[in-house]
Structure 1
Amino acid sequence: MFSVWIKACLNGGRPSPAPITPAELAGAALEAVEAGAAAVHVHPRDAAGRESLDGDDIGAAVTAIREACPGLPVGVSTGIWMTGGDPRRRADLVAGWQVRPDFASVNVEEPGFADLVRLLDRAGVGVEAGVWSPADVDALDGLPFLRILVEIIDVPAAEAVAAAEAILRRLPGAPLLHGENEACWPLIAHAGALGLPTRAGLEDTLTLPDGTPAADNAELLRQARTLWTDARRKHENTYG
């Protein structure tokens, strides 16, 4: 069996039935770990169900997941839409986190990217840099990262691999590769062929590879592991 490092992206901006509350996130994280997830990425919510960077909301979600899954690396989004596009407000909220996640994703294309990366690094929070285009790669120079995310968003399935390769050609090492919606499953398979880490979950897709609705994050994780492994085996058999 080939070894796949796969992260569960449990909710994103999706409404229910994606997990929303700290208790729901903790339960979904435990199921994801049982399905093979090596880490989880979540978008904590406030009392009204809105995505939030407030320290109380971050702390509640992270704490609940850690209690359910001791030792599991827990990451959160820092999407700037959560502060209405205000990078200063985002930085102030992140600086106020009392309970800190193990890592946080920061999108290269968002204003305040470099400053937020440095702030998180000083706080001991690993940074995942979200790279959406080849042009984003230049902004990575000299900054500290836990890992690079090659993220293919709003791209048809038939174009997903080419879009990913345009970025991968400019990156050293082994970035995590994933896509959203139509691009999700083609890029999990491509990650398998290349031996790259990947992710799966309700943030990225609501459907299985055959188009049927997924029951939950755990089912998506199991399907992703199978697809990744099959693609890796095929690649090895073809190229040795």
Structure 2
Amino acid sequence: MREILITCALTGSIHTPSMSPHLPVTADEIACAGMEAAEAGAAILHLHARDPETGRPSADPAHFRAFLPRLKEGCDAVLNLSTGGSAVMSLDDRLAAAKEAAPEMASLNMGTMNFALYPMAARITEWRHDWEKPFLEGSDDLVFKNTPRDIARILTELGQQRGARFEFECYDLSHLTMLRHFADRALVKPPYFIQFVFGVLGGMGPDPENLTHMLRIADKLFGTDYMFSVLAAGRHQMPMAAQAAAMGGHVRVGLEDSLTISRGTLARSNAEQVAKVRTIVEALGREVAGPDRARAMLGLKGAEATAI
């Protein structure tokens, strides 16, 4: 495939404000970051919210409501709401904003897994907020829960009832098997947009061999009915993106996944990462697709059919 989709994940729920002054926290910051990333070439914006006072990840629909209309008005990018939220949130909390907004796309983690962030705590010497250090250190006993029942509920309430399509986040080989299971149950339909996730402690390591193996199994399970994208945490972001682009896949960047633009250098914005990966993929002969092409390729319902 010559065309390539760039997704930008603006803020996430993994990094904390003390790690980078450039991490978007407030509604203004998230909205501006999204519009800048779209201008730089991101066709899809992967979205979380934060409490503007504390910077803590938030599931409150009001916090999403503070930036979603601005993004819809200010750019044409596909707005993709997280259903993962944070591992410390309940499923009801994680779904609240997406159910209200009825977005074109939503992310969906395809299994329960350890989600270990605690090594990050050792790198920070000054903390801006009291919650950050305990949150990170406590992740040595943290499980992100997404059981088959949870997944079926998300597919039903967001997919079947509200028309959303999904970014299927696969952190391990078993997640591909789980996606096949739900395809067999007719709860999802092609084309499947599979996001391979590398470098989260508890999931796959950021090894090139892991990507080639995941692709072999995805080919076996889904044939030509899927498209794949790659995100990799931290310093592995750009090398893995380059591998994905060279192999015909799509890419995801953003400050949710990595706070740096090169090893040891903080990215000043999400748009800076989008611009860099755009340079990489275009040098490989790929053509960056815009939001309208993303909607056509993924079979999305259109921004006008959302409740944003």
What is the distance in 2 between the residues matched to 1:151 and 1:123?
Answer: 26
- 1:20 maps to which residue? 25
Q: Which has the higher contact order (CA 8 A, sep 6+)?
A: 2
- 1:147 maps to which residue? 193
- 2:151 maps to which residue? 113
| 1:29-57 deviations in Å (ceiling 9; x for gaps) | 11111211111112112354322223222
What is the distance in 2 between the residues matched to 1:183 and 1:5?
Answer: 19
What is the distance in 2 between the residues matched to 1:133 and 1:118?
Answer: 23
What is the distance in 2 between the residues matched to 1:203 and 1:194?
Answer: 24
The reply on whether 1:162 has 2:162 as its aligned counterpart is no
The reply on whether 1:103 has 2:105 as its aligned counterpart is yes
Quote the offset at 1:64 in angstroms: 2.1
What is the distance in 2 between the residues matched to 1:86 and 1:5?
Answer: 31
- 2:267 maps to which residue? 214
| 1:95-133 deviations in Å (ceiling 9; x for gaps) | 7x3333321111111231222122110212222111011
The reply on whether 1:86 has 2:90 as its aligned counterpart is yes
- 2:175 maps to which residue? 136
Quote the offset at 1:176 in angstroms: 1.3
Amino acid at match of 1:115: R
Amino acid at match of 2:231: H
SS in 2 for 1:81: coil
TM-score (norm 1): 0.83
- Is the CA contact (8 Å cut-off) linking 1:194 and 1:232 kept in structure 2? no
Query: Matched residue pairs, number?
Result: 227
Deviates more, 1:113-122 or 1:97-106: 97-106
**Superposition RMSD in Å:** 2.5
Q: 2:282 aligns with which of 215, 226, 229?
A: 229
- Is the CA contact (8 Å cut-off) linking 2:25 and 2:52 kept in structure 1? no
- 2:227 maps to which residue? 174
What is the distance in 2 between the residues matched to 1:90 and 1:215?
Answer: 29
Amino acid at match of 1:218: A
Quote the offset at 1:66 in angstroms: 1.0
Change in Cα spacing, 1:86 to 1:99, as seen in structure 2 (3 Å) is closer
- 2:242 maps to which residue? 189
- Runs (4 or more) in structure 1 with deviation over 4 Å come to none
Amino acid at match of 2:251: T
Identity percentage of aligned residues? 29
The reply on whether 1:10 has 2:2 as its aligned counterpart is no
| 1:202-233 deviations in Å (ceiling 9; x for gaps) | 11112224542222111111111112233457
Structure 2 residues not aligned, in runs of 5+: 112-145, 287-308
Quote the offset at 1:175 in angstroms: 1.1
Amino acid at match of 1:161: P
TM-score (norm 2): 0.66
What is the distance in 1 between the residues matched to 2:29 and 2:246?
Answer: 33
Amino acid at match of 2:188: P
Change in Cα spacing, 1:125 to 1:46, as seen in structure 2 (3 Å) is farther
